[in-house]
Structure 1
Amino acid sequence: MQAGLDEAWIRLVGLLNGRDGEERGDQLPGAELRVTEDGSEVFHAALGRHARREGAIFWIRPIVARETDSATGLPAFDLQVNRRRALDVTEARVDGPWLELTLATGQVAVIRPASGPRLAMLADFDSWLATLPARTTARIDQLEDDSEVA
């Protein structure tokens, strides 16, 4: 079903916050992004739970790489690797719990409830964020840059 940008934004925020997924044990549902070009997958990753909108541009943070903190052994994430991305949306469609976005590049981005390894990656990212000072987390949530330093 065709959707306007406002409806697409509301659906995106719901997916990021786990409102459209099933609880899987202790893991809070979240979202993943799959991008295709000419029908072939070119990108697939978990999405951080924060987003920002500037008109038809939806800012998101794909979570693609996890590290291990040598001092604590806990998961850690480098925001220079897990960089924010802009989706320049030209058309939106809602398909059940999925959100399909046609991008200005001609690529198609599907945002859906996270599962499998992407859900595990998101759980680790959430845990990492919880270890950061509130000021740093707030800055990361704003998606204005790719720095952890507040």
Structure 2
Amino acid sequence: MTPLDLLEALEGYCKEITKDMRLVARVTENSTQAAERPPAVFVGNLPNKESEKKAAPYILLKLLTGKDDNEESVCRVRIICVTFSEDKQENYIQCLNLVTKIKTKLLEDVVIDNRFSCQKPVEFIIYDDDLEVYQIGEIMTIWEMQQVKRDVRKYLT
């Protein structure tokens, strides 16, 4: 199991637990009504620079660090949540709801994809930056992964 396996499992997990959410999305060029949809989920980065403004609401999964030693194999992953609304209060509440839903579900389920275990502490923050129509929240997670089994005997002949 690799860090990429973890991120892909998290991608599917986040899509599943947020599929029924209806968050404000930017109005398309041909429409006059505000759209609502679940957040899109991306691994690593958004597809392109233009997506930064058009993709919201979205969840971005980023590997921070990984560590393998004699006792454990862990990865730290940032789950970045971005929402959109021209109403700042609504935007703050949307972002807080999204962060809370993901964080709570991770703490309830503990294990995702029958392979990765979310460890405590799970930390989160809603940024206070003035980003006009965007709100950003972040969840910092630690994941225990299956250790790679080393077999040095095959080299001792």
When the two structures are superposed, what TM-score results if normalisation uses the length of structure 1? 0.25
Larger Rg: 2
The structure with higher relative contact order (CA 8 Å, sep 6+) is 1
When the two structures are superposed, what TM-score results if normalisation uses the length of structure 2? 0.25
